[in-house]
Structure 1
Amino acid sequence: MEIKPFTAVLPTDAGLTKLTTNNSSWTSADTHVQPGTSYYWYELTQNGIHQWRLIASWPEQVSVTTMLPGGINTVLYPKHPVIEMLIDDWVGHFPKAYEFTDEYNVTHRLWQITEAEVNADITEAMAEITPRKTWLTTTSTPLVMLVADSEWTKFKTQPRVPDHLIQKINA
Structure 2
Amino acid sequence: METNPFTAILPSASGLQKLTCGASDWTPADETVQAGDSYYWYELTQDGVHQWRLLASWPEQLSVTTMLPGGINTVLYVQNPVIEMLIDDWVGHFAPTREFTDPAGVRHRLWQVTEAPVNADLTETLAKITPRKTWLTTTSTPLVMLVADQEWAKFKQQPTIPEQLIKIQVNTD
**TM interval, short-chain normalised:** over 0.9
Q: Would the alpha carbon gap of residues 30 and 7 (structure 1) be closer, same or farther in structure 2, given more than 3 Å must change?
A: same
Corresponding position: 1:141 with 2:141:
yes
Q: RMSD across aligned C-alpha pairs, in angstroms? A: 1.5
| Percent identity of equivalent pairs | 70
State the Cα distance separating 1:67 from its structure 2 match: 7.5
161-170 or 126-135, larger mean C-alpha shift: 126-135
Aligned structure 1 segments of 4 or more residues deviating by more than 6 angstroms:
none
Q: For residue 25 of structure 2, what is the aligned residue in structure 1?
A: 25
Instruction: Give a deviation string over 1:97-118, Cα, whole Å, max 9, x none.
Output: 1110001100000000000000
TM-score by length of 1: 0.94
CA distance in 2, matches of 1:66, 1:74: 5
Instruction: Give a deviation string over 1:45-72, Cα, whole Å, max 9, x none.
Output: 0000000000000001122476841231
**Alignment of structure 1 residues 4-43 onto 2, 5 Å:** 4-43=4-43
Q: For residue 128 of structure 2, what is the aligned residue in structure 1?
A: 128
CA distance in 2, matches of 1:11, 1:92: 23
TM-score by length of 2: 0.93
6-15 or 128-137, larger mean C-alpha shift: 128-137
Retained in 1: the 8 A contact 2:6–2:37? yes
Gaps of 5+ in 2: none
The count of residues paired between Structure 1 and Structure 2 equals: 170
Retained in 2: the 8 A contact 1:94–1:114? no
88-97 or 144-153, larger mean C-alpha shift: 88-97
Q: For residue 86 of structure 2, what is the aligned residue in structure 1?
A: 86
Q: Would the alpha carbon gap of residues 45 and 65 (structure 1) be closer, same or farther in structure 2, given more than 3 Å must change?
A: closer
Retained in 2: the 8 A contact 1:3–1:126? yes
Gaps of 5+ in 1: none
Q: Would the alpha carbon gap of residues 45 and 67 (structure 1) be closer, same or farther in structure 2, given more than 3 Å must change?
A: closer
Q: For residue 111 of structure 2, what is the aligned residue in structure 1?
A: 111
Q: For residue 170 of structure 1, what is the aligned residue in structure 2?
A: 170
1:91 is aligned with what amino acid?
V
Q: Would the alpha carbon gap of residues 95 and 136 (structure 1) be closer, same or farther in structure 2, given more than 3 Å must change?
A: farther
Retained in 2: the 8 A contact 1:71–1:161? no
